[in-house]
Chain A
Amino acid sequence: MLTGIPSAAAERTPPASLEDALVARYTGFAGWLRANDFRVTSTDVAASLEMAQRMGQLDSELLRWSLRALLCSRAEEWRRFDALFEAYFLAPNRRKLGESKAGGAGRIETGDTAGRRDASEGTPLGHDGPGAADPDQVPGKTAEQGASVEASLAHADFRHLNQPDELFAIDDAIRRFAQRLRGIQLRREQRANNGRVVDMAWTIRRSISRGGMPLELGWRRKRRQRPRIVLLLDVSRSMSLYSFFYLRLARVLSARVSDVHCFIFHTRLVGIEQALRDPDPWRSQERLQLLSAGWAGGTRIGDSLGEFNQQYAAKLLHSRTAIVVVSDGYDAGDPERLQQSLAAMRRRCRCLVWLNPLASRADFTPASAGMQAALPYIDLLAGARDLASLERVLPQVLSALQ
């Protein structure tokens, strides 16, 4: 019977029998998948041995299908499985092939190499964060037509994403925000200990222990549910002073509130939800690094939002979704395209909030072509460029969401 997993001692000596060799092979495959970001547990290893025995191991196709059904648990893994299976079981030079196929999503580089890469590419980002930034450096009205359509080739440096002090301060603000976010009142009712309408079924149920005497009444009350929040962050060059602040905000928000979905956009749209939610901060940083190609480059807001509508809107947006767009509105694309995208978006969601970092300045007027196009579809336009101004804005955002 192939049931156990070989002990460390058994692994060191060459496998004695065919069975041991097989056990080692399947355990190795599970480890290979785990290294490539699959969630495989030790029970899965035992199950895959059982499965291999049940389905036979001589037919590679059959083995592939059964292992795929057992070891994959999401669509993304499903798509990568075949390549990994081939790399492990079929090709002799498996390591090399596998690494190129896996896209490096799972492997963590050491801090050293990551640092060197950044130094050589010379990212144009302010590492000090928005607190120390000089607001005069913000591109002013001259940048109105100055946005570029080119994607930047540089990767951003995410080492400062996990700065403890700033994170704690943001966390504090977001915690209060999450507490006050009471949610949208639904039609559906739920049982409650007090309310306006008596829940007959529950009252009868409660009275059974008292022989049918309704001493305690049960009530019904309208359910409230927190809105789903979709965060779309502009990380183009003109936003580079604020991008990190908002990224920290996104990380804290997705840790505090459950139903949050984050995307960054510049010339195209990238989902960063998974990377942000990674419990390991270093790995999260690493994954963001891989996603950040095009960071601080040009802007095509309309196209990016259109891409969102195309790919994610059907899945993410419902009548209780709040979309928060963070952008300065400097768009190199066609304003008409932006208008279309926003109109389509507005129809599907509950409210659309636009946070413009420049809007917290006294002399701000939404003059840029992008802002002009966006204005008719926005429920709330507010400015927030650092923590202090964010705290002023949050109550407005709260009232817009409810």
Chain B
Amino acid sequence: MATDRMSDVVSLQQRLEQHGFIAERSFAATLLLTMEMRRPLLLEGEAGVGKTEVAKALARLLDTRLIRLQCYEGLDAHSALYEWNYQHQLLAIKLLEQDSRPVQDKEQDIFSERYLLKRPLLEAITTTPAPVLLIDEIDRTDEAFEAYLLEMLSDFQMSIPELGVIRATERPFVILTSNGTREISDALRRRCLYQYVDYPGFDKELLIVRTQVPEVPEKLARQMVEFVQSVRQMDLQKKPGLAETLDWVAALLRLGVSAIDEDGVERIMDSLSALVKTREDQAGMTRPVVERLVASC
């Protein structure tokens, strides 16, 4: 049984590729572990290297729902876990005033699941089959919210005072992403598997461009990826990520560029707004710089 694990990893890698996601073999191994052990997976890396895409691909692969919790500063338990539908509860109270049932029954009725608004986390643990839960940019929330997450990620249960403890019918596949804006607590890190996602290398990026934008000719794709790779080597404030590469490829196709050479420099300059996105960086991409980059492609 132990010997054919590698073939499991390879087959997962191939299946991921069929669903439009290119992963290294080591990454596929980590994903296999995530799926088998149902431990949360923490992805760290620069913005735009395709961390969010992992969750989407996984959901497509498993053919299940993707529940996404986008974190932001000030995110509180009410918008992440659950909330009572106060207005409806109040209406129900008024209506029940004429009712002759005992008070306890009425109370149970008011605090039943009918009046519970499920937010992403609660939804994730009550949905079957197990969904993929994407907790995006966890580093944007504050420590208080991280503490809420701990209970949920270690036991996959949630306590609602009025209803009691709700346990997961089936453990969801949890993926957390972080850009490193804030240091995440060790307690949270310890509960997760960890994968650092780097900018893709030449081969991987080329493969991604070929899969995502199949209409681009082979030679042009090679040149474009080489161009982007050398832009990443430059001293930029914000290096272009994968998303930027794909945008730029689409932009060049739309501008009708068929090859990257000296004649196309003008149009490449025009399309750079898809690739470099700060004022300083754009100022740094002068014509001579672009010409040099083009010449090296």
Contact = CB atoms under 8 A, between A and B. Distances in A.
Contacts of B124: none
Contacts of A314: 237-238
A370 to B, nearest CB: 22
B168 to A, nearest CB: 20
Contact of B194 (A72, A212, A310, A313): A72
Contacts of B286: none
Contacts of B238: 314
Given A65-B29, A66-B30, A212-B94, A56 B280 contact: no
Contacts of B42: 73
Nearest to B72: A188
Interface stretch (A18-26, A125-133, A201-209, A379-387): A201-209
Given A56-B2, A310-B235, A315-B180, A62 B29 contact: yes
A108 interface: no
A71 to B, nearest CB: 8
Contacts of A89: none
Main secondary structure on A side of the interface with B = helix
A16 interface: no
Contacts of B180: 75, 315
A73 B180 CA distance: 12
A201 B30 contact: no
Interface in A33-79: 39, 41, 43-44, 51, 53-59, 61-62, 64-66, 68-70, 72-75, 78-79
A57 B12 CA distance: 19
B74 interface: yes
The range of chain B's interface size is 35 or more
B34 to A, nearest CB: 8
A74 B44 contact: yes
Interface in A280-312: 309-310
A113 B147 CA distance: 42
A191 B266 CA distance: 55
Interface stretch (B58-66, B184-192, B199-207, B289-297): B184-192
Contact of B3 (A58, A61, A69, A78): A58
Given A55-B5, A56-B3, A56-B5, A69 B193 contact: yes
Question: How many A residues touch the partner, as a band?
Answer: 35 or more
A94 interface: no
B86 A69 contact: no
A207 B90 CA distance: 9
B190 A55 contact: no
A344 interface: yes
A230 to B, nearest CB: 13
A74 B5 CA distance: 26
Given A62-B9, A65-B30, A69-B193, 6 more contacts: A39-B190, A59-B6, A66-B33, A73-B192, A75-B196, A188-B74
For the complex of A and B, 9 pairs with smallest distance between CB atoms? A56-B2, A73-B189, A65-B29, A78-B196, A65-B26, A69-B30, A69-B193, A56-B5, A204-B86
24 contacts: A54-B36, A54-B37, A56-B3, A56-B5, A58-B3, A59-B6, A61-B6, A61-B25, A62-B5, A62-B9, A65-B29, A66-B33, A68-B26, A69-B194, A70-B193, A73-B190, A73-B192, A74-B44, A75-B44, A208-B110, A212-B93, A212-B94, A223-B74, A313-B237
